[in-house]
Amino acid sequence: MSRTTMLAVGLTAAMAFGAAQAQAQTNNSNTMSPPAMNNSSGNAAGMAHKASKADQHFLTEAMQGDMAEVQMGKLAQQKGQSEDVKQFGQMLEQDHSQHLQQAEQQAQQLGVTAPQGPNAKQKATYERMNKLSAAQFDKQFARHAVQDHKKDIAAYQKEAKSKGPLAQFAEATVPTLQKHLQAAQSIESKGAMTGSKAGTK
């Protein structure tokens, strides 16, 4: 075999080897992409099916509660007579606005439709509070806030003990609700003391 023939054979073999490598890389890239896409879509589908009916009910009520508290907080800032009530109203508006955003994110991940606003009972409570005189508002507002937050804490603590997808979300919410309850109890206590003093005059 001449030197020219040997060079030609070697060049042909090198080209064939290079083409085989390129084809192998193309095949590898094609086989790597689909599993990654399937995994992401599978996770999304899994998240959408994790919420039970009980979880959906809890999350819907949580969002409605946040909406109601935001409205009530704004009302307290408008109608409250004491500075404590006004400040508490501001805290309710800020904290529950932030919590509502978090709850809506949870709803989106779990495929739960967010409510359009507070429920009928919450709307009726707001209307009743809005019609109170300035002298009556602080006392009634504090009493309502105490009762409402006691119920909320019990509901969130129950959810926190569950093994559902909202357990961690509920557990993280409890300290804020407890802070609100303490503030409402303090306002209610001051109102009761003021009322008793007024009665003895």
Contact status, residue 70 vs residue 47, Cβ threshold 8 Å: no
What gap in Å lies between CA 63 and CA 178, rounded to an integer? 18
What gap in Å lies between CA 64 and CA 100, rounded to an integer? 9
pLDDT digits (tens, 9 = 90+) for 102-159: 999 999 999 999 999 999 999 999 999 999 998 899 999 999 999 999 999 999 999 9
pLDDT digits (tens, 9 = 90+) for 14-38: 444 444 444 444 444 443 333 333 3
pLDDT band at 71, cuts 50/70/90? Answer: very high
pLDDT value, residue 191: 74
Contact status, residue 93 vs residue 110, Cβ threshold 8 Å: no
Contact status, residue 178 vs residue 163, Cβ threshold 8 Å: no
Element (H, E) at 29: helix 3-48
What gap in Å lies between CA 181 and CA 69, rounded to an integer? 13
pLDDT value, residue 190: 87
pLDDT band at 194, cuts 50/70/90? Answer: low
- Region 174-186: mean pLDDT is 98
Q: How many CB atoms lie within 10 A of CB 49?
A: 9
- Region 65-73: mean pLDDT is 98
Residue with tokens 């507002």: 141
Which DSSP category does 52 fall into? -
Element (H, E) at 168: helix 167-200
pLDDT value, residue 40: 32
Token duo for residue 150: 């006691």
| Per-residue CA distances from 155 to 68, 85, 88, 92, 113 (Å) | 16, 25, 22, 18, 20
Overall pTM > 0.95: no
Tell me the one-letter amino acid at 169: F
